[in-house]
Structure 1
């Protein structure tokens, strides 16, 4: 924050409610879960191809954001992004 960073959702929730970091993380995770439920519900009720395409686009955008930021800010941890991309593109899928 002193460097000019924007406040994060956890920090805002902790400041507004006085919650601990663990409580804030659980709350934000619950919000993410509820949002996924709403998005999946909308996907199942799409009434036209245009609506379906838009919802698919929005879903893929959310998937990408959760992939990039689900374990923290990967811009500050490029090794994580690199290993994910290498795994996605070059590592074979293991057969069970």
Structure 2
């Protein structure tokens, strides 16, 4: 944060609750599967509005993209070789 970074989820949880870093990491890790379950339940639910369907679909795709970019680290700075390999396998390398 001294460099001007935005506070991360772990840091926010530690500041709000007084938890240790290990406790905050465990808490944030439990949020991920629970949030996926909620999102998938919403996607499978009956929606009468086309707008609700589109918004739910968009939220799911944004979540997938964020999970893809950040599940193995920063996605940009800390492990660019992993991101580069994923992008090459998706767009460049033949199937």
In which range does the TM-score fall when normalised by the shorter chain?
0.7 to 0.9
Q: Which runs of 5+ in 1 are unaligned?
A: none
| Cα displacement string for residues 20-39 of structure 1 (whole angstroms, at most 9, x for unaligned residues) | 32221111121122211111
In structure 2, the partner of 1:86 is 88
Q: Give the TM-score normalised by structure 2.
A: 0.79
Runs of 4+ in 1 over 6 A off after TM superposition: none
1:3-59 Cα distance to aligned partner (Å, 9 max, x none)? 111111111112222323222111112112221111111111132472333322211
For residue 74 of structure 1, what is the aligned residue in structure 2?
75
Task: Number of aligned residue pairs: give it.
Answer: 92
- Alpha-carbon distance in structure 2 between the residues aligned to 1:65 and 1:79: 17
Q: Output one character per residue of 1:51-93: Cα deviation in whole Å (capped at 9) or x when no partner.
A: 333322211111001111222221213222101212333264x
Q: In structure 2, what is the equivalent of residue 54 of structure 1? A: 55
* Backbone CA RMSD of aligned residues: 1.9
Q: 5+ unaligned residues in a row in structure 2: which ranges?
A: none
Describe the SS at the equivalent of 1:73.
coil
